[in-house]
Structure 1
């Protein structure tokens, strides 16, 4: 039950995220739907490719596609005054999608009896893959590649689930809330991972 709920939450959150960014970039209606769908299902497609599951399995999720299309439609019809505040709460949708899909991806890999590292990779790619594809198509630097902490929270979910530290549906929902909150805190307070810049010398 938790897997289905988290799948629905992640699909809606990332579909909305993709649609809004498409409108920010002034895409036409086809581009809005395309970016919304790609964002919602891109992470799952990348995950399936890497863990050996046919990508065609995504087409069996008819209800999820309907949810994504409905979400994009509602966002496209939203009044401009509401959409103008996207920068204030847009990261919130992205945090929800990251958390829901990271947990869903980890559970997917565990059900296939994958090793720990594969579960963590599945969590990270499912949680951040759609956002990466969205940002690349929109000509933006992917959030996961920035110094601000992003994919680490997905990896944390994968580790906890792979070691069977989160067992019941209620614990999965608590983990979802915690990962979402940590992601919100990380962009609110600008928590960052260490970086190193290589300085190059230019010959005269």
Structure 2
């Protein structure tokens, strides 16, 4: 098994279990667990394939990954609750593993097709975060990858590093895998965030001011 397949396998297990746990948190039935787990594990790859010109039908040639995902979700579904709760405490770490593995896998996919750096970066990002975004939307949640600690940036960093040829050999790719996980966990621990600008308070204040003006006019 080459390094490409290793990263695919690691990412599939990590994200399939992540989707299954979210489905159980939302009290979905077993079908919902499988659907959400599969979407989390394979959704990012499907979107990536559409954008970089890979036939979506190649997804059906990954039978061993489907079986791996189904096995991982089944185990997660039947595990005792205390084990799942223990996994939840380590969720950020396993999520970081999936992010790193899939980001590197997506970047390798794009470089093998000799796409430019921009495409490699997008492929890494979408493979790393696409499944999580679809999972959160289906679960009725705001996509955490777009509002929580720095997340997508680390997938993009992996894409840039591979696209520029800084990491090529198996040892170098494994080192990059560890680096992305480390940075992701540091961003969780120290709560690093990208700059944000919220307009919710400004809109609320504007509405209140408008209501006050209307009341004053009525009083006149």
TM-score scaled by structure 2? 0.90
Give the Cα separation in 1 of the matches to 2:178 and 2:31. 33
Q: What SS does the corresponding residue of 1:135 show, helix, strand or coil? A: helix
What is the rounded CA distance, in whole Å, between the counterparts of 1:5 and 1:195 in structure 2? 36
**Residue aligning to 1:135:** 136
Residue in structure 2 matched with residue 81 of structure 1 by the alignment: 82
> 2:49, 2:69 → 1: CA distance?
19
Distance 1:143 1:100 in 2: 19
The residue that corresponds to 1:4 in the other structure is 5
Larger Rg: 2
TM-score (norm: length of structure 1): 0.97
Write out the 4+ residue segments of structure 1 that deviate beyond 6 Å after TM superposition: none
Name the CA distance, whole Å, in 1 between partners of 2:16 and 2:53: 25
Structure-to-structure mapping, 1:1-204, within 5 angstroms:
1-198=2-199, 199-200=202-203, 201-202=206-207, 203-204=210-211
Aligned equivalents of 1:195, 1:161: Cα separation in 2: 28
- Aligned partners of 1:147 and 1:194 also within 8 Å: no
**Secondary structure class of the residue paired with 1:182:** helix
Alignment partners' CA distance in 1, 2:65 and 2:174: 19
Q: Distance in 1 between matches of 2:65 and 2:113?
A: 21
RMSD: 1.0
User: How many aligned positions are there?
Assistant: 204
In 2 relative to 1, CA 157–136 (structure 1 residues): closer, same or farther, beyond 3 Å? same
Counterpart CA distance in 2 for 1:97 and 1:139 is 22
| Matches of 1:99 and 1:114, distance apart in 2 | 20
Report if aligned partners of 1:106, 1:157 keep a CA contact under 8 Å in 2: yes
Deviation at 1:89, TM superposition (A): 1.0
Provide structure 1 residue ranges, at least 5 long, that are not aligned to the other structure.
none
> How much does 1:147 deviate?
4.4
Aligned mates of 2:106, 2:144 — CA distance in 1: 19
Distance 1:187 1:139 in 2: 23
Work out the CA distance in 1 between the residues paired with 2:184 and 2:140.
23
For the residue of structure 2 that corresponds to 1:140, the secondary structure is: coil
The 3 A distance-change label for structure 1 pair 160 and 136 is same
Shift of 1:59: 0.7
The structure richer in helix per residue is: 2
**Counterparts of 2:93 and 2:18, CA distance in 1:** 9
Look up the SS of the partner of 1:194 in the other structure.
coil
